[in-house]
Amino acid sequence: MSHDASHPPTRPSLGAVQETLLIPLYGRAVEHRRPDAALTDPRAAELVDALDYDFARFAELPSLTGSVLRTLLFDHWTRDFLGDHPAGTVVEIGAGLNTRFERTDNGRARWFELDLPDVAALRGAFFAETPRRTTLATSVTEPDWLEEVGREPGGARLFAAEAVLPFLPEAEVRALVGRIARRLPGTLLALDTHTPRLVADQDAHDALSRTDARLRWGCADIEVVADWAPGSRVLASHTLTSLPRAVHDALPPRHRALLDDLARRRLPQVEEYRMHLLRLP
Ligand SMILES: C[S@@+](CC[C@H](N)C(=O)[O-])C[C@H]1O[C@@H](n2cnc3c(N)ncnc32)[C@H](O)[C@@H]1O
């Protein structure tokens, strides 16, 4: 069922970690409405209007802009992947109410959007499944969904885990990386990491501290993750202040000025948060 604007707002009833999906959703909606927006996402703005939730708790938080910049990088990797593999498979792990399909789909790719059952049910109120677009209502830590993805013909796969894996214990992340590498070799995995220090200091995080969710996994060096599946290669690793040139140069002047300022200040909460693209063996 897709959302009808004449319906009363939907009150999301979500677990603690699931509720965090509303932060980047709100970030994209606010950004979309700015006159000098870095990203176009009318669907996110519609979803915020359609949800009965106190988004004001996140208003004006600096990390909203951070989440938009992160999404732009993950979108960039997705477009790159679809440029190389127009009929490839994209799996959004911990999709939340992300609208990457709306922003980057090329009309040919196969999409899976995976999240916990309550989030999958919420997605179902707004996004229609199609033969190219499937919701997987499961924890990423369950093994079965990999079988369903693996049955797709084609081969090339990008798994985008944006702001998801840090909520899992390290052992679960490690088991997942091993499972993907064994079951679907050659998969590209986009993910983000906080250092152990940021995980320890998470009560100081401007947006997360307004939810009951907890970060569990701290990672100081992405090569450690690559070593969990020997033969993995780190294709890219960026902070918000060292975005790829193509992403940085496409930003409006306001965002570039903000990033220049952040680069000078070298704040730990910015510099110790990284986004990576791995090729699993
Ligand atoms: C901060 S939100 C990010 C949502 C989305 N990736 C985005 O960028 O808009 C974290 C998401 O991870 C999902 N998540 C957390 N643990 C999960 C698990 N074990 N399996 C699947 N999804 C999970 C949550 O339900 C939530 O949707």
Backbone dihedral angles phi then psi of residue 276, each to the nearest 5 degrees: -135, 155
Counting from 1 in the atom list of ligand 1, the atom nearest the Cα of 74 is: 8
Summarize pLDDT for 47-97 with one digit per residue, the tens: 999 999 999 999 989 899 999 999 999 999 999 999 999 999 999 999 999
The residue whose C-alpha atom lies closest to atom 7 belonging to ligand 1 is 98
Summarize pLDDT for 16-42 with one digit per residue, the tens: 999 999 999 999 999 999 999 999 999
Mean pLDDT of 175-200: 97
More confident residue, 71 or 204: 71
Please give the distance, rounded to the nearest whole angstrom, from the Cα atom of residue 18 to the centre of ligand 1: 6
Please state, rounded to an integer, the average pLDDT across all residues of the chain: 95
Residues with CB under 6 A from ligand 1: 17-18, 20-21, 23-25, 94-96, 98, 114-116, 119, 139-141, 162-164, 167
The residue whose C-alpha atom lies closest to atom 3 belonging to ligand 1 is 21
Both structure tokens of 152: 């797709």
Tell the burial category of 38 from Cβ atoms under 10 Å away from its Cβ (0-12, 13-18, 19+). Answer: buried
Please give the distance, rounded to the nearest whole angstrom, from the Cα atom of residue 170 to the centre of ligand 1: 16
Both structure tokens of 14: 């979500």
Architecture of the domain made up of 69-279: 3-Layer(aba) Sandwich (3.40)
Tell the burial category of 194 from Cβ atoms under 10 Å away from its Cβ (0-12, 13-18, 19+). Answer: buried
Going by C-alpha positions, the residue among 242, 202, 198, 240 that lies closest to residue 220 is 198
Q: Domain residue spans in the chain?
A: 69-279
pLDDT of res. 200: 95
Please give the distance, rounded to the nearest whole angstrom, from the Cα atom of residue 21 to the centre of ligand 1: 6
Decide the pairing of beta strands 188-194 and 273-279: antiparallel
Going by C-alpha positions, the residue among 150, 277, 151 that lies closest to residue 222 is 277
Residue 227: band (very low, low, confident or very high) from pLDDT cuts 50, 70, 90: very high
With 80 as the cut, is the pLDDT of residue 3 above it? no
> What does 83-96 look like in DSSP terms, one character per residue?
HH-TT-EEEEET-T
Going by C-alpha positions, the residue among 23, 75, 17 that lies closest to residue 51 is 23
The residue whose C-alpha atom lies closest to atom 19 belonging to ligand 1 is 139
**pLDDT > 90 in the chain, percent:** 89
